[in-house]
Structures are given as structure tokens and as C-alpha cells.
């Protein structure tokens, strides 16, 4: 592309502050340019939609256009780590973890107790193994997505993270949210996440207390109907 490597400017038309990325629109260019918060070094505030961004146009290893060495027009850069540098403050804030709250410990303890209960009653280790294995996979997926966010690379789709949580990895996801402060501030993501947790707890309650009458038996009937 003829503009690659050049100093350009454009308007920030979309900005996702929770995930720290957005898109710049340049007059005369059909494709919007991706920008990550890490490309905006030492700005006195975080960007917002409508800002004019000056940047160098680069292409990543996958051939996608991205902004580097970016500044917000009209703002004077501040020293790295300076108190008035909210970009640096937000990044450091998100890396630091925090202890798991009481409700978090409650749901984690519940699934552990339910899995051990199933092992005791039915001699069935599968739930315990599935939760442990999928939680490890989900925790790693969160860590990789967090690293991508910091490095300014393309992120893991949220639908993929939710699929891992639904498959039994939500305990690992919950631990990762508190340990990494990742995905724990986005309301829409949290709504889906806790809906998955609630579904798992309801399925366990049905299985252990109601012999599966409300959820498990109808699911088996539906599955059998599809197999016929």
C-alpha cells in the first residue's frame, strides 16, 4: 500500500475503552485502521471517539493495517509513568490482580463439592476431571488474550472464551478474571459469564437433588430424538 510507513492522520470513529482498541478513518482510504492503546505513548488522557490521531501506518505479520507511534492531536505527551498519564495508569491497574471475593469463593466451592458428591454417589470422576481440565484451558486462554491486549495484537473472540466456560471452564475463567483483572469490568461479558455459571449450578442442583427430572431427563429425551 502506498501509505504504508508514512505519517498519517485520521479521526477515531470507534473506540472500545474496556478492551483498549479502536479504528481510525482516513479520508480517501476504504479500510479503517486498527489502533491499540499501546500505540499511544505518554498521552495525558485516554482516547475517545472523535479524536484526531496522528500515526505511522504499519502492517502486521498477518498483513493487517495498524497504527503505530500514535499521538492525539492537540495534546502534549507527558513523561512515562507520570501521575498525569492515565494511559500508563490504566495499563498498570489492569495488570495487578485482586483477591477473590466471598461470592466467587462460594461458587467455586460449590462446583467442587458437587463434583466430589457425584464422585461419591455414582463413582463418576468425569465431572471433576472435566472441570479441572477445562478450567486450566480457560485460564490459559484468558492469559493469552490478556497478553494480546497488552501487545496490541488481535484478540481471542469473546464467543470462544464463553464456549470454553460453557464446556466447564468457567471456574478457571472466574479465577483469571480476579487474578488478571481481565474481562471483569465489561458488563455484557459479565452478564453472559454469570448466566453460564447459573446454568451450571442449576444443572447440578437438578442432578443431585431432583434426580435430573427438570433438566437432565428432558435433555436426554431431546438427544435421543435427534439420534433416532
Asked whether the predicted pLDDT for residue 92 surpasses 60, the reply is no
Least confident of 63-77, 90-104, 105-119, 128-142: 90-104
Segment 114-143 mean pLDDT: 88
What is the reported pLDDT for 139? 96
Measured between alpha carbons, how far is residue 193 from residues 134, 152, 160 in Å? Answer: 15, 24, 12
Least confident of 33-37, 117-121, 125-129, 170-174: 117-121
Which of the listed CATH numbers 2.40.50.140, 1.10.490.10, 3.40.50.2300, 3.20.20.70 matches domain 7-92? 2.40.50.140
- Report the C-alpha gap between 171 and 112 in whole angstroms: 10
Among 127, 108, 106, 107, CA closest to 117: 127
- How many residues comprise the chain? 228
What is the reported pLDDT for 143? 93
Segment 95-100 mean pLDDT: 50
- Report domain extents, the chain: 7-92, 97-227
The C-alpha cell at 93 is 491497574
- Report the C-alpha gap between 153 and 64 in whole angstroms: 10
Of all helices (H) and strands (E), which one includes residue 180? helix 170-180
Of all helices (H) and strands (E), which one includes residue 54? strand 52-59
Amino acid at each position: 500500500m502506498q501509505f504504508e510507513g508514512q505519517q498519517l492522520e485520521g479521526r477515531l470513529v470507534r473506540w472500545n475503552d474496556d478492551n483498549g482498541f479502536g479504528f481510525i478513518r482516513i479520508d480517501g482510504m476504504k479500510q479503517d485502521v486498527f489502533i491499540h492503546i499501546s500505540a499511544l505513548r505518554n498521552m495525558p488522557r485516554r482516547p475517545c471517539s472523535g479524536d484526531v490521531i496522528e500515526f505511522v501506518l504499519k502492517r502486521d505479520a498477518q498483513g493487517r493495517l495498524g497504527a503505530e507511534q500514535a499521538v492525539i492531536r492537540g495534546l502534549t505527551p507527558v513523561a512515562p509513568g507520570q501521575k498525569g498519564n492515565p494511559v500508563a495508569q490504566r495499563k498498570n491497574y489492569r495488570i495487578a490482580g485482586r483477591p477473590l471475593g466471598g461470592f466467587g469463593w462460594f461458587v467455586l466451592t460449590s462446583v467442587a463439592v458437587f463434583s466430589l458428591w457425584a464422585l461419591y454417589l455414582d463413582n463418576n470422576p468425569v465431572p471433576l476431571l472435566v472441570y479441572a481440565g477445562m478450567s486450566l484451558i480457560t485460564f490459559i486462554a484468558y492469559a493469552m488474550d490478556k497478553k494480546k491486549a497488552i501487545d496490541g495484537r488481535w484478540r481471542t473472540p469473546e464467543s470462544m472464551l464463553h464456549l470454553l466456560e460453557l464446556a466447564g471452564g468457567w471456574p478457571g475463567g472466574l479465577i483469571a478474571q480476579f487474578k488478571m483483572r481481565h474481562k471483569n469490568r465489561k458488563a455484557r461479558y459479565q452478564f453472559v459469564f454469570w448466566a453460564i455459571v447459573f446454568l451450571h449450578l442449576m444443572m447440578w442442583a437438578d442432578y443431585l437433588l431432583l434426580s435430573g427430572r427438570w433438566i437432565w431427563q428432558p435433555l436426554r429425551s431431546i438427544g435421543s430424538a435427534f439420534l433416532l
